[in-house]
Chains A and B, each alone.
Chain A
């Protein structure tokens, strides 16, 4: 019992450190997808911060605050007892069909990034349909010098790219490719 308490205490003491240092080079990823549906229809699906069910990796979204600034959501990945990502909304415009959010807590083993922020935007596509743009800015998972391979800059970019690609592919599947 006492040992467990000490372990929890140790974990708590470690927490502030997670929010501290980061790697020297911030990374960025921008992925886009074109779909046949009009922006309004796409926005109706992706435009609610408390519902990320459109992404295949997300098992459950527990939102608090809807689309208000500082609203939070907890994403559970894969299964009911899967790993989680906690996020906060810091910018939202239904008119611009765009919102921005940050990760407030994630295990590096789940997503090897720190100081992660992201924007999702839906725009009209030239010639009809919609363009979905998903952008992220983040540091690698390893905050110190000389990172191990699974927590370096390339690993961070690969992981975020994989998440975005999977989500955008699902939206193309749902809304169809624009006709040529």
Chain B
């Protein structure tokens, strides 16, 4: 009996643990700030002023990158908010992905069909990649082989060799791809805001292997518990797809204008920010129930990978 109680207790602790150490770094575009939120406590730990209407974000151990399109500024902070480097990029910087292994930061230029490749320490420009029109979302594959961009106004994704910075494929996807991310199994998932579906791409072959209908205006994609989670911006929902079958298994109600979405380090929970409501929603990746809703700054975008495991 005692052992049963202990087991139940352990289970409860495990259930409470989701997201225990994770910290959300939420770019709040309209408020010109970055909200730092401890998911375990539900408290906003701090709010950093980030001028220039920040949207894009990428976090890695020891670094938080934020992209402010209005002032065309990319900044690197340490996890406590100390500014370590900043650069003004002449164009329309918006999306960001970090290749921590090679010390590179990729930034999309919404207005000039290119990607800047920056040194991730001092943010100096190392290279530029030519792209399709209006590149937005960027992602680096889990194995570090590929970097991909969603070229919104070209209805395509561009896939580059991340080591050689060489173009491998331009792949026509659905209408107006904006957000994209690599699944743990290596497939590239692309949200098409114009056609309300997700294109699944084999990045090595440069081919669309499936197109899956989701909700209205799919924006961001994250993965946990062998599922893909897609934020449907115009529908206030998150579509949940089984990675194996690509069937939609559920549609979870969240706040208004859900945008940036990411998974906790332990894979137990999904966090999505709600732009209109100034909140974030935590979803249990297994049960698909909403665990918590927390306040953020004004106009959260969190466009990129914004969760960092461990506490600060």
A95 interface residue per 8 A CB criterion: no
B236 to nearest A CB, angstroms? 9
A26 and B275 alpha carbons, distance in the complex (Å): 9
A97 an interface residue at 8 Å Cβ cutoff? no
Establish whether residues A24 and B92, one from each chain, have CB atoms under 8 Å apart when the complex forms: yes
Tell me whether A24 and B110 are in contact (CB under 8 A): yes
Asked if B91 lies at the interface with its beta carbon under 8 angstroms from chain A, I say: yes
Closest residue of B by beta carbon distance from A27? B30
Whether the pair B55, A145 counts as a contact (CB closer than 8 A) is no
Instruction: Kindly supply a per-residue 1/0 record for chain B positions 228-240, scoring 1 wherever the CB is within 8 Å of any chain A CB and 0 otherwise.
Output: 0000001100000
The interface residues of chain B, by DSSP majority, are classed as: loop
A-B contact count (CB 8 A): 43
Chain B positions within 8 Å of A100 at CB level: 234
Q: B69, B133, B276, B299 — which one has the most chain A CB atoms within 10 A of its CB?
A: B276
Q: Give A79 to B21 CA distance when docked, in angstroms.
A: 61
- List A contacts of B134 (CB < 8 A): 20-21
Q: Are A117 and B153 in contact (CB under 8 A)?
A: no
A24:B53 contact, CB within 8 angstroms: yes
User: Chain B: which residue is nearest A136 at the CB level?
Assistant: B276
Whether A25 is near chain B, meaning CB under 8 Å from some CB there, is yes
Residue contact A137 to B216, C-beta cutoff 8 Å: no
A96 → chain B closest CB, angstroms:
12
Given A20-B134, A145-B111: A25 and B55 interface contact (C-beta under 8 Å): yes
CB distance from B88 to the nearest CB of A (A): 13
A144-B111 in contact given A24-B92, A90-B234 (Cβ < 8 Å):
yes
Write out, one digit per residue, whether chain B residues 68-94 have a CB within 8 A of any chain A CB (1) or not (0). Answer: 011000000000000000000001101
Q: In the complex the two chains form, is B153's CB within 8 Å of A21's CB?
A: yes
B234 contact set on A, CB distance < 8 A: 90, 100, 102, 117
Judged by a CB distance under 8 angstroms, whether A177 is at the interface is: no
Q: Check B111–A25 contact: CB distance below 8 A.
A: no
Q: Is B141 an interface residue (CB 8 A)?
A: no
Could you say which residues of chain A place their CB within 8 Å of the CB of B92?
Answer: 24, 145
Q: Note all chain B residues with C-beta closer than 8 A to A20.
A: 133-134, 153
Q: How many residues of A contact B (CB 8 A)?
A: 16
The reply to whether the CB of B106 lies closer than 8 angstroms to some CB of chain A is no
Cβ of B29 and Cβ of A26 under 8 Å apart?
yes
Contact in complex: A24, B94 (CB < 8 Å) = yes
Chain B residue at minimal CB-CB distance from A28: B276
On whether the beta carbons of A137 and B276 are closer than 8 Å, the reply is yes
B257 at the A interface (CB under 8 A): yes
A145–B276 Cα distance when bound, in Å, is 24
Question: A123 at interface (Cβ–Cβ under 8 A)?
Answer: no
Q: Tell me whether B276 and A25 are in contact (CB under 8 A).
A: no
Q: Is A125 an interface residue (CB 8 A)?
A: no
Q: Is B257 a contact of A25 with CB atoms below 8 Å?
A: no
List residues of B (275-296) whose CB comes within 8 Å of A's CBs. Answer: 275-276
In this assembly, does A135 line the interface, its C-beta being within 8 Å of a C-beta of chain B? Answer: yes
Q: Which residues of A contact B70 (CB under 8 A)?
A: 24-25
B-contact 0/1 string along A1-43, CB 8 Å cutoff: 0000000000000000000110011111000000000000000
Q: Smallest CB-CB separation from B68: which chain A residue?
A: A24
Chain B residues closer than 8 Å to A24, beta-carbon distance: 53, 55, 69-70, 92, 94, 110
The 3 closest A-B pairs by CB, nearest first: A24-B69, A25-B53, A20-B153
Extra inter-chain contacts (7) besides given A25-B53, A135-B276, CB under 8 Å: A21-B152, A24-B70, A24-B94, A28-B30, A100-B234, A137-B257, A145-B111
Query: Taking beta carbons and an 8 Å cutoff, which residues of B are in contact with A?
Result: 29-30, 53, 55, 69-70, 91-92, 94, 110-111, 133-134, 152-153, 216, 234-235, 257, 275-276, 299
A residues contacting B by CB (< 8 A) are 20-21, 24-28, 90-91, 100, 102, 117, 135, 137, 144-145
Q: List 15 A-B contacts (CB under 8 A).
A: A20-B133, A21-B110, A24-B70, A24-B92, A24-B110, A25-B53, A25-B55, A25-B69, A26-B29, A26-B275, A28-B275, A91-B235, A117-B234, A137-B275, A145-B111
